[in-house]
Structure 1
Amino acid sequence: MAETSYKELSINGLWKNNPAIVQLLGLCPLLAVTGSVVNAIGLGLATTMVLICSNTAVSLIRNVVTDAVRLPAFVMIIAASVTCIELLMQAYTYELYQILGIFLPLITTNCVILGRADAFASKNALLPSFYDGFIMGLGFMVILVLLGGLRELVGTGALFANMDLLFGPGAASWELVLVDDYKNFLLAILPPGAFIFTGLIIALKNRIDSGLKARADALKEKPVKGAKRVRVTGNIS
């Protein structure tokens, strides 16, 4: 695949076709577990790893499976990847695994993963499929972390609490208390807060896109500097 195509994949995964705020896929875990940054990073990493593994495996078997069993094969690959990620989290981040709960196995039904497997990995070579899984997962995780950070900050007045659940005991000191004696704002932490902040993020992206489009249109209409007008004289018969 050409280098420009990798650039397009990056722009699509992170901005133009972001699975969370453009395609609006995977909203159930997005809204449910983003009450803190550590939860968001944990789920984001798990989803990204599943995307990478499933895209890679689907690309490898794309010329082997028939159309009749294509989707069941993809689902089995995704389910196997999710099971492996669950086992790893049980072994190394058990407390975070318990917090994320049912939303880890539900990654199997995430439309982002099956959609990329069917729409991209089943039609492209190994390396582009691997990169597509990575960049789509990264785009999803960026929104998860942004949403988790906003909800944690507004809800508790602090950031990066309980990071030791994911990064070990040394990360316990990473917590930043930005407002002392903060009265917890429960709306931000509860599910309604997730809807509110998600809507604000989508509105901000749409506003930026509108501004960029207006600027591009203005540049197209602006006359070229130094251009001279040609005056035509004479009669046309």
Structure 2
Amino acid sequence: MASSDPRHIALEGLWKNNPALVQLLGLCPLLGVSNSVVNALGLGIATIAVLTFSNIAVSLFRRQMTEAIRLPVFVMVIASLTTCVELLMQAYTYELYKILGIFIPLIVTNCIILGRADAYASKHAIAPAALDGFMMGTGFTLVLVLLGGLRELVGQGTLFANMHLLFGPVAESWQMIVIPDYKKFLFAILPPGAFVFMGFLIALKNLMDSRIHRWQSARKVENVAGSKRVRVTGTIQ
């Protein structure tokens, strides 16, 4: 059974077992929506909400569910929560809801949500299950926003454009024109560009993991060598 330690759960969701960079789940919305920061953040917040509350619901009723109805119940819970999020977006962020389109109802089919419900929430208490859902959703959202920022910057030369679609009139001045008079790079905005940028992000994470592993191995060797020197010195004395 997976650990219930909060630090372990956070590290798994944000880095070690990140849904987008390690598990490679939810790639369809990840690549399809992440052409700007506002689109990525909108879908990310919706995913966090569904993932967190579905984990809570599954954990709450985990002892009452038999093996025969387990998966249908998971899907029904996720679909109900997705409908609630969809209705809220229609009410408060309608323009953004229209832009995201089919990717909002497709949260129901996101493998991350069903996977965490089955692999973690159905086996743990409410608090760690909620934290697991929140951290996995946050890890997914961070990759979404980073990818959206890169594609928006390279594709349009701006950052945080149209943030008022998510946060209202107060965010109309948030747009940053990083490169004035920029000729749009269409490839970065289209889905093929998403594949390229995603490949770079995965490669960067693998490189960082490799360097962290080498550093940890070197530290371990140094500690072992240091303990041996201490024992030898003690013996001679």
Structure 1 CA distance for aligned equivalents of residues 150 and 103 of structure 2: 21
Post-superposition shift, 1:221?
A: 1.8
Q: 1:8 to 1:111 in 2, by over 3 A?
A: same
One-letter amino acid of the counterpart of residue 41, structure 1: L
Map of 1:227 onto structure 2: 230
Post-superposition shift, 1:199?
A: 0.5
Higher-Rg member (1/2): 1
1:39-93, Cα deviation, whole Å (9 max, x unpaired): 0000000000000110010011101111100000000000000000000000000
5+ residue gaps, structure 1? 233-237
SS at match of 2:77: helix
CA RMSD of aligned residues (A): 1.8
Query: Which aligned pairs between 1:64-213 and structure 2 lie closer than 5 A?
Result: 64-213=64-213
One-letter amino acid of the counterpart of residue 30, structure 1: L
SS at match of 1:51: helix
Post-superposition shift, 1:218?
A: 1.1
1:142-196, Cα deviation, whole Å (9 max, x unpaired): 0000000000001111100000000001211100001111011111111111001
One-letter amino acid of the counterpart of residue 209, structure 1: D
Structure 2 CA distance for aligned equivalents of residues 44 and 59 of structure 1: 22
Post-superposition shift, 1:228?
A: 6.3
One-letter amino acid of the counterpart of residue 193, structure 1: G
One-letter amino acid of the counterpart of residue 109, structure 2: T
Structure 2 CA distance for aligned equivalents of residues 62 and 116 of structure 1: 13
Map of 1:28 onto structure 2: 28
Structure 1 CA distance for aligned equivalents of residues 174 and 75 of structure 2: 38
**Identity level (%):** 62
Count of residue correspondences: 231
- TM-score, L = length of structure 1: 0.94
Structure 2 CA distance for aligned equivalents of residues 228 and 82 of structure 1: 61
Map of 2:38 onto structure 1: 38
Structure 1 CA distance for aligned equivalents of residues 141 and 211 of structure 2: 25
Structure 1 CA distance for aligned equivalents of residues 17 and 53 of structure 2: 21
Structure 1 CA distance for aligned equivalents of residues 126 and 231 of structure 2: 53
24-33 vs 124-133, which deviates more? 124-133
Structure 1 CA distance for aligned equivalents of residues 114 and 78 of structure 2: 8
5+ residue gaps, structure 2? none
The question of whether the paired residues in 1 share the 8 Å contact of 2:4 and 2:128 is answered with: no
Structure 2 CA distance for aligned equivalents of residues 215 and 128 of structure 1: 31
- TM-score, L = length of structure 2: 0.94
Structure 2 CA distance for aligned equivalents of residues 227 and 68 of structure 1: 60
Map of 1:235 onto structure 2: none
